[in-house]
Amino acid sequence: MKSEITPEEYESMILACRRRASKLLGYRQMSQAELLRKLMFKGERKDIAENAVLWLTEQDFLDDAQYALDVVRHYMKKGYNRWRVTQELRRHLVPRDFWDDALAQLEDDETERYYDE
């Protein structure tokens, strides 16, 4: 039984994980933490999954700040209140650092829309 992975096998695993991660993002947008969790659930090693998430972030395919704004926008359009929207941000594993900016920007948009009508 082979216990060590060769550098070539490791590189192959990284590339396969990047492909899998890209495919998952093709289905729907998600946060970095959400993608990492999903990759690990599907059997990827943590270090390899982290590499894939980092690579996709560097390639600008993952952006937690933009994703937070998109989540807020989506659920506010559905009529959710601020508390319920924050629950959705938590459910989607969006880092807390991005919540306030996304909520504030959308509340500004709502205020402008109200006064423009």
pLDDT tens per residue, range 47-71: 999 999 999 999 999 999 999 999 9
Considering the domain architecture, whether residues 43 and 72 belong to the same structural domain is answered as no
- Could you write out the DSSP letters of every residue in 99-111? HHHHHHHHHHHHH
105 and 78 in a common domain: yes
Predicted confidence at residue 115, as pLDDT, reads: 44
Q: What confidence score (pLDDT) does residue 98 get?
A: 93
The verdict on 71 and 109 lying in the same domain is yes
If pLDDT is split at 50, 70 and 90, which confidence band does 111 have?
very low
Distance CA 64, CA 94 (A): 7
Is there a single domain that holds both residue 49 and residue 88? no
Residues 30 and 69 reside in one and the same domain: no
Q: Is the pLDDT of residue 92 over 80?
A: yes
Last residue of a domain, one of 34, 58, 82: 58
DSSP assignments along 15-42, one per residue: HHHHHHHHHHHHH----HHHHHHHHHHT
Is 90 among the domain residues? yes
Task: Point out the domain boundary residue: 58, 77, 101.
Answer: 58
Which structural domain range is residue 29 located in?
Answer: 7-58
User: Is residue 114 pLDDT above 80, yes or no?
Assistant: no
Handedness of CA 22, 24, 25, 27 (dihedral sign): positive
Domain finish residue from 15, 37, 58 = 58
Same domain, 47 and 72: no
**Number of domains forming the structure of the chain:** 2
Q: What dihedral do alpha carbons 46, 22, 55, 36 form, nearest 10°? A: -30
